[in-house]
A = this chain, B = another copy of it.
């Protein structure tokens, strides 16, 4: 019972750990988009001299009186104008020296949006969609953060019906396969993909065929209403 016999209070804890209250928290938003059969990520030119010329994720410090989740939506809205997307917290990055301004621990959030449905407020002309296949060095540890979010999204899309807001209401299995291929960055076998996706029981067969396509028309499906994705 030795160490519980000392009475510790919130106040005495703060005083005895005053050099622990010396950290800032940031949020970094990893916004994935889908366009022209490619997975893209939204990046902004870093305006910090130390990372001059490099692209970075959409991030900012959490304000002293700001809730963590609220900060993620505020930052996304300020940087892009987007305010109708769902952000999911993925991972927190706390390595020493990850930020040149001092100890800054960053919480990463991601979203997956249909680029054509979300008009960015491009007043900031250094904000752009970048193909994932085509990225150069990023500022801070943002490549690490991006990779972690990519890993998470790849895990999630095979388990949960998260991708259907990236497709038209009626879509073919070919369109769905192209979308999965873009996210997973693999070429999927057509027969296997169809078998697996049907096992998920996510789709309703509309008994309609694709109109006006340059290939053999496929059947059209829609996602079951109960599964409408959150993001």
Residues of A within 8 A of B (CB): 1, 3-4, 6-11, 13-14, 17, 19-25, 45, 47-50, 61-69, 89, 91-96, 99-103, 105, 107, 124-126, 155, 159
Q: A11's closest neighbor in chain B, by CB?
A: B101
Q: A27's closest neighbor in chain B, by CB?
A: B94
Q: A9's closest neighbor in chain B, by CB?
A: B49
- Name the 8 nearest CB pairs between A and B, nearest first: A68-B94, A10-B100, A14-B101, A92-B92, A10-B101, A20-B24, A9-B49, A13-B101
Contact (Cβ within 8 A) A64 B13: no
Say which residue of B6, B67, B94, B155 sits within 8 Å of A67 (CB atoms): B94
Beyond the given pairs A25-B25, A67-B96, A155-B159, 9 more chain A to chain B contacts, judged by CB atoms under 8 angstroms and listed by A's residue number, are: A1-B125, A4-B47, A10-B50, A10-B100, A20-B64, A22-B64, A62-B94, A66-B96, A68-B92
